[in-house]
Amino acid sequence: MTMLKGVIAAAATPLTDNLSIDLDGLVSHCAHLLEAGGCDGINLLGTTGEATSFSVEQRVAAMRAVASSGLPLSRFMVGTGAAAFEDACRLTAEAKVLGFAGALLLPPFYYKGIGADALVDYVTAVVDRVGRDGLPLYLYHFPGNSGVPYTPDAVIRLRDRFPDALKGLKDSTGDLDYSGGLARALTGFDVFPSAEAAIGRAAELGLAGCISATANVTGPFAQAAFTGKTQAEREAGLAEAVRIRAEIAKFPLVAAVKETLALISGNANWRRMMPPLTALSEAEREALVKDLASTALLGSGAAALSKAG
C-alpha cells in the first residue's frame, strides 16, 4: 500500500567523479531521508535529482538500485517523464514493474503550445502502452521548466478517464489556488505543492503534503510542521523550514541544495553537478554559509540532522 503523504523530499542525486550516478551514495542518502532526515517519502529522479540530464539507462539503473536496496518502495515515487514518448513509456513501465508507489510524469517538454486535447492524448497513449492495471501515475506540473502546463481541464479529464491509475499531481508553480482547486475538485486525488510553506495550509486546502527540493535538509523541521503534537511545535517547525528554504532559494536551487548537503555532511562530492548545471561559485558558497549560519540547520539546531550522504 502506498504511503505517499506528508513530507516528501525531491532527492538530490550524488555523482561520481566521471559524472555517473553514485548508486551506493543515492541509496544511502534515501535511507537517511527516510530515517533521521525526517521525510515520509522520496521523489526519486525529479528536477532536483537532475533526472532529465541522465540517459534512460542511467535512470533505470538508479531505479533498480533503490528497488533492490530493501528500502520501502511504498514511500517512493520516481520521475519518468522524458521528451521522447518511447523513453517515457519505458521509464513508466519500469516504475510499475519494480513496484514504486508512484510514477511522476512530466508532459513532453520540447514542443511548446501543446493544448489540452493533445496533452490528454499523450498521457492516454502512455497509459495504454504501459497498461493501466496496477499503474500508480502522478502528473508533474512544472510549466516554468517544461513549458507545457497540466491545465485543470486536462487533469480533470485524465482523472475521469483513468480514475484508478491517476493518483495525484505535483505542482511546482507555487500557486496554491491551482493546487487547492484540484484537491477540492477531485476526491481522493493527492496534490503536492513544492514548498514547505504549503504545509501550513495543507488541512485547509486538502493537500496531501509537499514534495520539496529543500526537504533534503529541512525534513525534521517540515515533519514537525506537519505532525507536531502542539500548535506551537507545528508553528515553530514550519517557521524554521520556511526560513531555511528562503535562504537556500536565494541561489540556483539544485546547486544550493547540493551545496547545503555538502556543508552539513562534510562530503564535498555533493557539489558535483550534471552538465549543464554548475556548482555554486566560491562567492555564492560563502554567501550561502553566511545566510544559513543563523538558522537551525547550521546553528544550534544542527544536531537535529544526522550526517547526510
- The string of pLDDT tens digits covering residues 203-220 is 999 999 999 999 999 999
In this prediction, residue 106 carries a pLDDT of 97
Q: Say if residue 136 is preceded by a cis peptide, omega within 30 of 0.
A: no
Average pLDDT in the chain: 94
Q: State which amino acid sits at residue 289.
A: V
| 66-91 mean pLDDT | 98
- The string of pLDDT tens digits covering residues 230-288 is 999 999 999 999 999 999 999 999 999 999 999 999 999 999 999 999 999 999 999 99
Q: Is the pLDDT of residue 1 over 60?
A: no
| 289-294 mean pLDDT | 94
**Using an 8 Å Cβ cutoff, are 105 and 138 in contact?**
yes
The Cα–Cα gap between 211 and 198 comes to: 10
The Cα–Cα gap between 168 and 189 comes to: 5
The Cα–Cα gap between 262 and 256 comes to: 10
Which grid cell is 212? 520539496
| 124-145 mean pLDDT | 96
- CATH homologous superfamily, domain 6-246: Aldolase class I (3.20.20.70)
In this prediction, residue 3 carries a pLDDT of 75
% of the chain with per-residue pLDDT over 90: 93
| 115-126 mean pLDDT | 97
- The string of pLDDT tens digits covering residues 31-69 is 999 999 999 999 999 999 999 999 999 999 999 999 999
Domain borders along the chain are: 6-246
